[in-house]
Amino acid sequence: MKKLRNEFLIFAICVAAITSALGQGELRFCLRAEPKTFDPLKVEDESSMAVRYLTGGVLVRMNRQTQALEPELAQSWKVSKDSRQITFKLRSGVTFSDGTPFSAEDVAYTVQQLMDPALHSSTGDAFRSGPGNTETKIISPTQIMITFPAPVAGLDRQFDQVAILSAHSAKKEMAVVGPFMVDDYKPGASLLLKRNPNYWKTDAQGHKLPYLASIRLDIQPNRDVEMLRFKRNEIDLINALDSEYFDKLAATSPQLVHDAGASLDSEQLWFNQVAKSPLPSYKKNWFRSAAFRRAISSAINREDLSRVVFRGHAQPAIGPVSPANKFWFNAKLKPETYSPDAALRALQADGFRMENGTLKDKDGNAVVFSIMTNAGNKYREHMATMIQEDLQKIGIRINVVTLDFPSLIERMTQSFDYEAILLGLTNVDLDPNGVMNVWLSSSDNHQWNPSEKAPETTWEAEIDRLMRAQASSSDAKKRKEAFDRVQEIAVEQEPFIFLVNRNALSAVSAKVQGANPVVLVPQTYWNADQLSIK
Amino acid sequence: MKFLRGNLWRNVACVVLLLVVGTSLSANWLAPDGYARQYREAADAPPSHTHWLGTDEIGRDRFARVLYGTRISLLLAPAAALLSTLMAAFIGGLAGYLGGAWSRGAMAVTDLFLSLPWLFLLIAVRAVMPLNVSPLFSVVVTFLMLGLLGWTTAARVLCSTASSLRESDFVRQARASGVRGVRLFWIHVVPNLKPVLYAQFWISIPVFILSEANLGILGLGVAEPMPSWGSLLKELEGLVSVGEEPWKFVPLLLLVVVVTSFQFALSKQDEVAA
């Protein structure tokens, strides 16, 4: 009887140990806005992306730390030479959260849904490089071949964003293959994700993942409140921290904050080069002159912007690609040297002259222009004010204008009634295809001169050619060469004056184990299935 | 005794206001380096003997900015108050005096203006303004807009007062004596509207100061680098950090002191108006 009791005790301890290994912890953090959809194919906003990342099972996943592509639901894959076709070998024995088995049929269903033009999926747009239908061929339950009508650059990497849907589950998109599943949603308040009991992954010791029992996402748009809640231990992490809060927190709890270095995000200034804009012709001439843009660029003290505005938690930008993008960054590019004297000399060589401390062009017009930015963003307002003082040193008078965002966008995209704009660009995609819409002269997002019928300058024509060349090539080396040249042209011509790359700052509670913040989104919970709570 | 106590507070308030106005007008001597100079090596510095109230996030001397900001807010808010009071007197006073359809029409327009969300209206007006304007022009336009939009409440009060004056015995008597039109309005009605006009003027000043502060917090008020109380109060957005840096509260403290002083200083005007 005593032996039986001992065996029972040992069994109870084992059960407790296993339960402990599985983890009963709940990770809590804030989303800045309501997720707009739970359908992973329709995701466009940041909050929905977070939910998709935590719940969606993908065929391949880019490791946010190494930036290398790793197998997930696909054990292996092969991309055809022409980059139009990809064949996946899938894992067997995987089931969705509701118990529906996962097979090639689900992948085919997901791809067909994704590429349906009626869905207007921005994730699908990344695969849409030419007219025609996408074909899927199920070779076996664990093998599928997908053929696109035209070559898709970085084809395999694009599948990092494609969460697989179940073709047969009655629960539709709520049946997931990712580590967590949506359990409870209180609109405007919180979203509760529970561990997917059927998640296929295990750790090195063979324990089932994820370790966490649940993740609670509180919807909290106010960053001050988010910070206060973190300090009160009501939430466990802050994914993107402002530099001001970072320093405050670092002063009291340095072990909780993480500066992962320059992120992909950049802040930039650009001049209006739209021919039909309502600006006086002499100003159009300034803004369309590469020498003028380069001079302005070299008169801006980027070191000071990084050090003062971002308290050292930003790096002076070198070009259109952040050094955080390990593969695509052109390492040959050198940072712009701050030199107001050189800027003034360059302007004088271009016909400008200094008169009583005011810079004037060859027709005697004083160089005065406005820099517009969005109201309420203190970092951009501070940068604009510092640029105002920097340019004053070479006799240029700047008027800083802060506008509400809709008015700013209206001026930027509809009336073109602006002179210079200071805004940021948030990059999620490492691949240059993610910025095709910025660099192609015909694009609406070609901000300095959108929707050109034909490239208006030779350098824009060259960028168009190079961007199309890299997009249609499957040779990574050739693509890199083409995009390196795009970066060089961008630095020579400065249609965008890149100012700084913000650092990826985050805060993680000491209770969270396994966290290793990185620069890529989602910085702190990219390895959510391996996080646990002490 | 009660009268003396009330008078004492009013006198103290007047002295405080004079002191604040006097100090802000001396900004050129007290802070000769100006409000825009950036001491980038000493950004966000605590108070020191060189920067009495420390520096802001891009290294500008906070004391200088408070002085110049006070000057701007305190000089332009009364100007906006004067404009709005004159408009209220013209629209409300005349409508009340004329009565009938004039009064109903004017009050319908007033109600329409009152129903407009003024903040969004100001944002919209700012959005259609030319971009390339100097900071000085932006500050004048901001207060001009406040003045042009802020007459409605005062107009209703003045309409009501003028309406009751129109029906008063002395106006009837004047009318019976043959005094009519502009002469009647100017000699008999306007002098009796004066106390209400004064009260509305004084009440409007703190309202406009606060309105500009609201716009400033939204980044839509006075353009950089010119300071105003609104732009200075923006520093208080990071409430997590402010507890550790009490000197950042100085602009807020000054705003509270000035608005309170205005209330005490105009208390007698209120009594007269009532």
Distance from CA of A335 to the nearest CA of B (A): 21
Q: Looking at beta carbons, which pairs linking B60-63 to residues 24 or more positions away fall under 8 Å?
A: B60/B35, B60/B36, B60/B225, B61/B31, B61/B33, B61/B35, B61/B37, B62/B232, B62/B247, B62/B248, B62/B250, B63/B30, B63/B31
**Which one has a higher pLDDT value, A422 or A404?**
A422
ipTM score above 0.90: no
Cβ-contact B209, B229 below 8 angstroms: yes
Interval B148-197: pLDDT, tens = 888 998 999 999 999 999 889 998 999 898 888 888 888 888 889 988 99
SS3 category, B89 = helix
* Mean predicted confidence (pLDDT) in B238-259: 80
Interval A107-160: pLDDT, tens = 999 999 999 989 988 888 888 877 889 999 999 999 999 999 988 888 899 999
Task: Name every residue whose Cβ is closer than 8 Å to that of residue A451 and which is 6 or more positions away in sequence.
Answer: A442, A443, A444
Contact call for A417 and B131, based on CB within 8 A: yes
Select from A483, A474, A472, A467 the least CA-distant residue to A86: A474
* Mean predicted confidence (pLDDT) in A237-260: 93
What does the mean pLDDT of chain B come to? 85
A-B contacts at Cβ under 8 angstroms? 91
Kindly give the pairing relationship between strand A420-425 and strand A257-271.
Answer: antiparallel
* Mean predicted confidence (pLDDT) in B229-251: 78
Per-residue pLDDT at A505:
96
Select from A220, A227, A223, A244 the least CA-distant residue to A507: A227
Select from A257, A211, A293, A351 the least CA-distant residue to A489: A293
Kindly give the pairing relationship between strand A237-238 and strand A257-271.
Answer: unpaired
Contact call for A248 and B241, based on CB within 8 A: yes
pLDDT bucket at B242, cuts 50 / 70 / 90: low
Interval A158-167: pLDDT, tens = 999 999 999 9
Interval A35-66: pLDDT, tens = 999 999 999 899 999 999 999 999 999 999 99
pTM value surpassing 0.90: no
Interval A266-307: pLDDT, tens = 999 999 999 999 999 999 999 999 999 999 999 999 999 999
Per-residue pLDDT at A59:
97
d(CA A34, CA A49): 11
pLDDT above 70 (res A493): yes
Interval B3-48: pLDDT, tens = 455 688 889 999 999 999 999 999 999 999 999 999 999 999 999 9
pLDDT above 80 (res A509): yes
Contacts of A227 in chain B (CB under 8 A): 240
Distance from CA of A412 to the nearest CA of B (A): 12
Is the CB of A304 inside 8 Å of chain B's CB atoms?
Answer: yes
pLDDT above 90 (res B273): no
What does the mean pLDDT of chain A come to? 92
Per-residue pLDDT at A47:
94
Per-residue pLDDT at A434:
83
Contact call for B127 and A382, based on CB within 8 A: no
